[in-house]
Structure 1
Amino acid sequence: MTRAGSSTVTLLPTAIVGSLPKPSWLAEPETLWSPWKLQGDALIEGKQDALRIAVQEQGRRGIDIVSDGEQSRQHFVTTFIEHLTGVDFDQRETIRIRDRYDASVPTVVGAVSREKSVFVEDARFLRQQTDQPIKWALPGPMTMIDTLSDRHYRSREKLAWEFATILNQEARELEAAGVDIIQFDEPAFNVFFDEVQDWGVAALERAAEGLRAETVVHICYGYGIKANTDWKATLGSEWRQYEKTFPLLQRSSIDIVSLESHHSHVPLELIELIRGKKVMLGAIDVASDEIETPEEVADTLRNALQFVDADKLVPSTNCGMAPLSREVALGKLSALSAGAEILRTEIATART
C-alpha cells in the first residue's frame, strides 16, 4: 500500500474495517447509536480530539492504513443519511433490517439529494494527522436503502441509484481531500442476493465511478451484537453467502473486497472466487472480548495465502469494534499488527 507520491510499499498492510470505541467523555461506551455527551462547539472539538486519539492509537499499535475509527459519527449509515434532503428523521417507521431485526428508521418523503459534503472536513482533519495512507468508509447504496422506510420512490432499485450518485459526489470530494482508499460498506450484499445480481453491484460501481483512489467493498456478518450472533447461529456449519456475490465482484471495477474470516464459518476457498482482487481479510473477531494472540492472527493470514497472493492481502478486522471496550479493541489492533509481522518475516525468510 502506498501514499500518493511515495514509492514505499508495505507487504501485508494492516487496516481496520470501520469503527473504534469512542471515549467515554464523548459517547456512552460499548453502545451503538449512542447519543453525544457534548453539544455545540464542545462537540466539534470533542469529535476532533477523539479522531486524533484514534489516529495516535492506530500508529502506536502498528496499523498501516489509518482511518477515523468513525469517531465523528453515531452510526455508519444513518450519520450520512441525516445530512441529505428528502429524508424525515421525525417521521419514523419500524422495519425489518437485513431480514434480521426490527428497527425504528427515518422515512424518505421526497427526492433525495446532497446539498453539501458530509464527511469532507473530517477527512481533511484526518489527513492532517498522519502521513500514512488513509481510508474512509461510506455506506453502500443497498445498505442505505435497507436502513430506511421509502414513501417516495417506492422502488429499492430507484432509490439505490439515487444514493449511488450522491455517494459518488461525496467520494470524489473525499479523494480530493487526500483520502487514498474509499470503502463502501455493504453488509446487505450477504442477504439480498437477487438484488445484488440484478442491480446491486452496478449501483456500487456507480458510487465508485471515476475514482483514482483505491475502492473497497466491505461485506460482513455484522457487529458483534445479539441480533447478528443469533442470525449467525442459524447459518449452519458453513457460511457460503460470499459464493453468491464474489464472482460478480471479481468481474467488477472495485479494487478490494473486504470479508469476515477469523472465528467465522466462511470456507477460505471462497476467496479463490475473487482471485486477482486485493483481499482485506478479517483476522480479528469483533464478536468476542477475547484478544487474539499474534500467532492466531498469523495462522488466519497464512491459511488465506493458499487463495490470495501475499502482495494482495490486507490483514484487517472482521467488522467495526464500536460495541467493544477500548481496552479490548486496542489489544486486538496490537494483535493484528503483530500477527501480520510474523507472516512478513516468514515470507521474507522464504524469499532469501
Structure 2
Amino acid sequence: MYSSDRILTTHVGSLPRSEAVTEGVFARENGQPFDGAALDKTIADSVADVVRKQIESGVDLVSDGEQSKISYATYIKDRITGFEGDSPRRTPKDLEAFPNYSKWASRSGGVPDYKRPKCVGPIGVKSMDPLNEDLANLGAALSGAEVAGGFMNAASPGVIALFQPNEFYPTQDAYLEALAEAMRVEYEGIVNAGFQLQLDSPDLGLGRHMMFKEASDEEYLASIERHVEVLNHATRNIDPQQMRMHICWGNYEGPHICDVGLEVILPTVLKARPAALLFETANPRHGHEWQVIRDHSDFIPEDKILVPGVIDSTSNFVEHPSLVAERILRFADIVGRERVIAGTDCGFSTFAGFGSVQTDVVWAKLKTLADGAAIASETLWGGA
C-alpha cells in the first residue's frame, strides 16, 4: 500500500446499487419471491460495472461496491448464526438535540428503512457461500484490469455489536468474543483470496453518540479499547499490511455536534493492527482535524498509512481538484508522501437504495479525487 512515485486513490467501499440490485436484495431480505439465479447474475453484472466505472474515474484501489449487501453491518446475519428479527433504533445524540431536523430527515426519506436483527442465539459460521460469491464476482471483475489492488469490506466485531444488540450472551465481552471468532473466517477468507481486507469500525467514532451516548468518557474509552483488542484478536493471523480500517462518525448529513474529537480516540485507534487508517477530514465537522494528526505525529507508528477522506460523501458539491490536492498535501507534509493514500470520508451508498449523493455525482467526485491526487503527485514528485 506504499507508493514511491504518486499518490494512490481509493474510497471507503460502498457505491450506488442499480434499481434492479436494490429491488432484488430487499426482496431477498424481506422473504418475498425472487429469482435467485437472476439476482446472482444481476449482482455479478453490477460488480463488473462499478469496477469498470471506478477504473475509468481513476481509482487505484477498488472494491465491489458492496453490491450484494443491504448494509455494511446487518449483512452478517446471512453468514453467521444467532441473529433474527429486528431491534429498536438508537437515535444519534445530535439528532435528539435537533428533533425538528430529525423529523424532517425522516419525512424526506433521509433515514434508511431496513431490519437490524438482534443476537438471540449462539454465534458461529452459518454459510461461506455469500462471501465466496462476493469474492468470485470481484475476482472476475478485476481479471485483466490494470489497478493497484482490490479490497473488500467486512464489519468489525464492534460495529456489529453497535447495530445489533445482544440478548443471548451473559456479558458484552462474551458477545464480542463470539463475534470475533465467527467473523475471523470471513476476514481470513478475503485475504486468502488475494484482496485487502477493510474492517469497517464506525463504532470507534459513531459509537460515542449512539451506543455509548449515556456513558462517561472513561467508560466509552474503555469500551472502544476492548473493541480494538477483540478486532486485533480476530485478525491475529493476517499481515497488517493486508488490512485497512475505516472509522467515522456517521455517514449522514446532520448537526454532528456530539461527534467525539479525533484527538480523544486517536491513541486507541492507533492500537489496531491494520496498517492503513481511513478517516473523515473533508466534511465541515472534521475538516480541521488534520491538525490532530500533525500534533500527534510523534505517536503515529511509522508503519501506519493514512487514508484521509479528501472528498465528502454526504454532499453533491464536487470538490475542486486543487482543494483535494491541498488536503492531500497537508498529510504528506506530516507523515511523508509514501504513507498517504487519497480517500473518501465514507461510503456513497452505506445502505442499499440510500445515499444522499446522486449516482452520476458519485463518479464525478471520484474523478475529481483522482485529478486532485495527480496535482498533489506532481507537487510531491514532479521535481524528483
Partner residue of 2:306?
Answer: 279
Partner residue of 1:94?
Answer: 88
Q: Deviations over 1:249-277 (max 9, x none)?
A: 33442211110001333321222433521
Distance change in 2, residues 1:335/1:157 (3 Å): same
My pick for the range that moved more, 112-121 or 279-288, is 112-121
Determine helix, strand or coil for the equivalent of 1:302: helix
Q: Deviations over 1:138-162 (max 9, x none)?
A: 1111110111132101422221111
Partner residue of 1:5?
Answer: none
My pick for the range that moved more, 289-298 or 205-214, is 205-214
The code of the aligned residue for 1:217 comes to M
CA distance in 2, matches of 1:37, 1:61: 36
- Which ranges in structure 1 are unaligned for 5 or more consecutive residues? 3-7
Aligned residues: 332
- Which ranges in structure 2 are unaligned for 5 or more consecutive residues? 96-110, 213-219, 350-354
CA distance in 2, matches of 1:310, 1:37: 52
Partner residue of 2:131?
Answer: 119
CA distance in 2, matches of 1:60, 1:37: 36
Distance change in 2, residues 1:95/1:150 (3 Å): farther
CA distance in 2, matches of 1:346, 1:71: 36
Distance change in 2, residues 1:15/1:115 (3 Å): same
CA distance in 1, matches of 2:157, 2:280: 20
2:359 to 321, 326, 335: 326
Asked whether the 8 Å contact 1:261–1:283 carries over to 2, the reply is yes
My pick for the range that moved more, 184-193 or 62-71, is 184-193
CA distance in 2, matches of 1:99, 1:240: 11
Partner residue of 2:201?
Answer: 186
Distance change in 2, residues 1:149/1:201 (3 Å): closer
Aligned runs of 1:53-64 on 2, under 5 Å? 53-64=49-60
Asked whether the 8 Å contact 2:63–2:150 carries over to 1, the reply is yes
Aligned runs of 1:252-271 on 2, under 5 Å? 252-266=272-286, 267-271=289-293
Distance change in 2, residues 1:161/1:16 (3 Å): same
Query: 1:62: how far off?
Result: 0.7
Q: Deviations over 1:231-257 (max 9, x none)?
A: x1x24xxx6522222212334422111
Asked whether 1:13 is paired with 2:29, we answer: no
The code of the aligned residue for 2:293 comes to I
Partner residue of 1:309?
Answer: 336
Between Structure 1 and Structure 2, the one with more helix by share is: 2
Asked whether the 8 Å contact 2:63–2:152 carries over to 1, the reply is yes
Asked whether the 8 Å contact 1:66–1:135 carries over to 2, the reply is yes
Q: TM-score, normalised by structure 1?
A: 0.86
Query: 1:38: how far off?
Result: 5.9
The code of the aligned residue for 1:171 comes to Y
Query: 1:197: how far off?
Result: 4.6
Asked whether 1:74 is paired with 2:70, we answer: yes
CA distance in 2, matches of 1:160, 1:265: 30
Query: 1:214: how far off?
Result: 1.6
CA distance in 2, matches of 1:310, 1:54: 28
CA distance in 2, matches of 1:285, 1:175: 28
Distance change in 2, residues 1:183/1:100 (3 Å): farther
The code of the aligned residue for 2:262 comes to Y
Distance change in 2, residues 1:155/1:82 (3 Å): farther
Distance change in 2, residues 1:72/1:246 (3 Å): same
The code of the aligned residue for 2:90 comes to R
Asked whether 1:109 is paired with 2:87, we answer: no
Partner residue of 2:321?
Answer: 294
Query: 1:285: how far off?
Result: 0.5
CA distance in 1, matches of 2:370, 2:290: 21
- By relative contact order (CA 8 Å, sep 6+), the higher-ranking structure is 2
CA distance in 2, matches of 1:55, 1:24: 17
Distance change in 2, residues 1:154/1:332 (3 Å): farther
Q: TM-score, normalised by structure 2?
A: 0.79
CA distance in 1, matches of 2:22, 2:273: 37
Asked whether the 8 Å contact 1:279–1:314 carries over to 2, the reply is yes
My pick for the range that moved more, 292-301 or 261-270, is 261-270
Aligned runs of 1:144-293 on 2, under 5 Å? 144-179=160-195, 181-190=196-205, 191=208, 192=212, 193-212=220-239, 214-225=242-253, 229-230=254-255, 232=256, 234-235=257-258, 241-266=261-286, 267-272=289-294, 273=296, 274-276=300-302, 277-293=304-320
Amino-acid identity (%): 23
My pick for the range that moved more, 149-158 or 60-69, is 149-158
